[in-house]
């Protein structure tokens, strides 16, 4: 598993735990930062995980608006918590991280949904992220 894949999983854990525990993302991020300080061997995955979570915090309204716009018939509150977290990471990578190709962002999100969520989630995540990638303004 690549360092970035591990980082996405770690970011997913932070987003998911915040959602389930009713914490704010900054609170969940602070708790994970404290754990990360005690695990120097996992530093490579922590740096990108923190970048993802910080990006979701900074752009959460825009990210959630994109998800709700393209999730026909589904509100964020109706989605499984793990799908919300996966989608937020995928949308952040698509819209706000020029270093990640669209295909990689979508593929990583679909793989996470396949492994961690419902039987229908991978197709849902794939379709939604593909629509967002197709309809966003082109990167410069």
CA-derived radius of gyration, the chain: 14
CA 2 – CA 138 distance, rounded (Å): 28
Q: Is it the case that residue 108 has pLDDT exceeding 80?
A: yes
* Model pLDDT, residue 90: 98
Nearest-CA neighbor of 90 among 118, 69, 74, 66? 66
CA 54 – CA 62 distance, rounded (Å): 14
Q: 24-38, 47-61, 66-80 — which is least confidently predicted? A: 24-38
Residue 140 lies in a domain: no
CB-CB contact of 130 with 89 (8 Å) = no
Residue 109 lies in a domain: yes
Q: Is it the case that residue 53 has pLDDT exceeding 90?
A: yes
Only one residue has tokens 């770690």, namely 10
Cα 16 to chain centroid, rounded: 9
pLDDT band at 122 (very low <50, low <70, confident <90, very high): very high
Residue 48 lies in a domain: yes
How many domains is the chain partitioned into structurally?
A: 1
Residue 84 lies in a domain: yes
CATH code for position 102: 1.10.940.10
Residues 18-44 have pLDDT tens digits of 999 999 999 998 888 888 788 777 776
Residue 113 lies in a domain: yes
Range of 19's domain?
3-135
Q: What would the two tokens of residue 133 be? A: 């990638």
CB-CB contact of 11 with 42 (8 Å) = no
């Amino acid at each position: 598993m690549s360092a970035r894949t591990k980082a996405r999983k770690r970011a997913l854990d932070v987003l998911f735990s915040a959602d389930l525990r009713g914490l704010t993302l900054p609170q969940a991020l602070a708790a994970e930062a404290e754990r990360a300080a005690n695990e120097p061997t996992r530093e490579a995955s922590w740096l990108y995980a923190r970048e993802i979570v910080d990006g979701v915090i900074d752009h959460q309204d825009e990210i959630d608006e994109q998800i709700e716009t393209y999730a026909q018939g589904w509100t964020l509150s109706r989605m499984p918590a793990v799908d919300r977290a996966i989608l937020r990471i995928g949308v952040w990578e698509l819209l706000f991280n020029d270093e990640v190709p669209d295909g990689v962002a979508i593929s990583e999100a679909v793989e996470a949904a396949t492994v961690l969520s419902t039987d229908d989630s991978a197709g849902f995540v794939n379709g939604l992220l593909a629509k967002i990638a197709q309809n966003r303004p082109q990167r410069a």
